[in-house]
């Protein structure tokens, strides 16, 4: 009787062990923490379109896309407001195709050692000019934009006709902006409140750098953004000058049309003389 009970007990234990092994074998494997982390989704910054080496990044050059950590690899940039701001104006060291992950080793950001030297073309110079919120087109200029530099000056000689006392002329055409610096100088805004001027750094030739140096002493500089479609290569706008009378005929229609004024002098007696202009 004892032997029979022992036999049945051993049979029960064997069946229990077999069932346990079979249950464990049929369960899916539990993923480890490393596998779970590698499969996690994150949103990274990628290029929205092809970008050539040496170009300066603009906000529209970047977009976001989800990747797993395994796909992301190393040295990536998360798609955040701060990351986009930090990359604006950065120079790309290599060419990108659409959808490339933007990695920090592939860009050089403003302020880093050697940034200006890397951005400038052979024989070119970097020149900065101070602009306020109006002359700098209200913060709408970005590194990489092409601009015209316009000089506006007032001529204080009273002998000059009224219509020729204010003039604006394009002193430089189709120059590249390479940096928008942080606020450096405090000025006064048009509404009387304190505004903050900024500096715009441009890539120019040595001769153009001298023109800018002179222009800053003559009058006020303002910037005009050029279209992204620059037209035929090497085509530049001809220098132009606009006078006050070209804008407002009230300042002297005859001068604007190139017609000299007619003066008539009236003598009364031997001393009194009156002059009338038509």
Straight-line distance from the first to the last Cα atom of the chain, in angstroms, rounded to the nearest whole number: 144
Confidence band of 206 (pLDDT split at 50, 70, 90): very high
Whole-number pLDDT of residue 187: 39
List pLDDT tens digits, range 137-166.
555 778 888 899 999 998 888 888 888 888
- Does 34 score more than 50 pLDDT? yes
Confidence band of 39 (pLDDT split at 50, 70, 90): low
Higher pLDDT among residues 230 and 80, named by residue: 80
Higher pLDDT among residues 231 and 40, named by residue: 40
Written as six digits, the tokens of 275 are: 């002059």
The Cα 58–Cα 225 span in angstroms is 15
Q: Strand (E) positions, the chain? A: 41-47, 62-68, 91-92, 107-108, 125-131, 146-154, 166-180, 185-188, 194-204, 220-225, 241-243, 263-268, 272-277
Sequence ranges of the domains in the chain = 35-108, 122-256
Whole-number pLDDT of residue 169: 92
List pLDDT tens digits, range 213-247.
999 999 988 888 888 765 554 445 556 788 888 88
Percent of the chain predicted with pLDDT > 90: 17
Q: Which of 6-15, 86-95, 200-209, 220-229 has the lowest mean pLDDT?
A: 6-15
The Cα 276–Cα 278 span in angstroms is 7
- Least Cα distance to 246 among 237, 262, 258, 238 occurs for 258
The Cα 95–Cα 57 span in angstroms is 12
Are the C-beta atoms of 141 and 223 separated by less than 8 Å? yes
CATH topology of domain 35-108: Type Iii Antifreeze Protein Isoform Hplc 12 (3.90.1210)
């Amino acid at each position: 009787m004892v032997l029979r009970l022992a036999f049945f007990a051993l049979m029960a234990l064997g069946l229990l062990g077999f069932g346990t092994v079979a249950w464990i074998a049929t369960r899916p494997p539990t993923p480890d923490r490393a596998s779970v982390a590698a499969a996690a989704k994150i949103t990274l910054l990628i290029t929205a379109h092809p970008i050539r080496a040496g170009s300066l990044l603009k906000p529209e050059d970047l977009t976001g896309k989800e990747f797993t950590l395994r796909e992301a690899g190393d040295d990536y940039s998360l798609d955040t407001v701060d990351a986009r701001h930090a990359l604006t104006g950065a120079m790309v060291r290599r060419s990108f195709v659409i959808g490339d992950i933007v990695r920090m080793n592939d860009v050089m950001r403003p302020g880093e050692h050697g940034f200006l030297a890397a951005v400038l073309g052979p024989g070119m110079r970097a020149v900065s000019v101070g602009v306020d919120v109006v002359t700098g087109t209200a913060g709408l200029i970005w590194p990489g934009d092409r601009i015209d530099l316009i000089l506006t000056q007032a001529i204080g000689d009273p002998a000059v006709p009224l219509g020729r006392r204010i003039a604006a002329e394009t002193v430089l055409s189709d120059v590249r902006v390479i940096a928008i610096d942080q606020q450096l100088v405090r000025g006064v805004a048009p509404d009387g409140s304190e505004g903050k001027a900024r500096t715009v750094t441009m890539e120019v030739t040595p001769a153009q750098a001298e023109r800018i140096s002179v222009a800053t002493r003559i009058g006020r500089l303002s910037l005009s953004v050029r279209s992204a479609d620059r037209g035929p290569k090497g085509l530049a706008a001809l220098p132009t000058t606009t006078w006050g009378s070209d804008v407002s005929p009230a300042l002297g229609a005859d001068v604007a049309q190139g017609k000299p004024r007619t003066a008539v002098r009236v003598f009364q007696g031997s001393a009194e003389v009156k002059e009338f202009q038509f």
